[in-house]
Amino acid sequence: MTEPGAEQVRSAARRMYAAFNAHDHAAATDIFTADFYSHPMGTTGPDSVTRSWQRFHEAFPEAQVVVEDMVVEGDTAAVRTSVRGVPGQPPPTMLEIFRVRDGRIAELWGLSSLRRA
């Protein structure tokens, strides 16, 4: 297992946000490792991502994530995004940090300004 290059890490991020924006929940299997771990949610595996994306899209069907900044260092990316299509509030921002292994996202940390009722 070798450390991914910066372009491989960026590519994993682009695939994740493109799949989310296209409501392509099934793509999580190809984007996240089988042992993927989400630190904020305490969940494991691509199926947990699929369920999370589905719940989010049920609540906000018009939501689109826009990448504002991306910094890559080694196998890790830090990405600042804004979320368009969330009614009743200014576009929320998110900061996600993730680690890539073998071209797939293996681990994720995140913060969000999204207000949930």
In the sheet where 32-38 sits, what is the strand order?
Answer: 43-44, 32-38, 104-112, 93-101, 76-84, 64-73
What backbone torsions phi and psi does residue 65 show, to the nearest 5 degrees?
-95, 130
Domain boundaries, the chain: 6-112
The whole-number pLDDT of residue 2 equals 52
What backbone torsions phi and psi does residue 107 show, to the nearest 5 degrees?
-155, 145
What is the chain's percent helix, strand, coil content, to nearest 5? 30, 40, 30
Q: Which CATH number fits domain 6-112: 3.40.710.10, 3.10.450.50, 3.40.50.2000, 3.50.30.30?
A: 3.10.450.50
pTM of structure: 0.92
The whole-number pLDDT of residue 114 equals 83
Measure the CA–CA gap between 42 and 116, rounded to whole angstroms: 19
Residue pLDDT tens, the chain, 117 long: 556 699 999 999 999 999 999 999 999 999 999 999 999 999 999 999 999 999 999 999 999 999 999 999 999 999 999 999 999 888 999 999 999 999 999 999 999 998 765
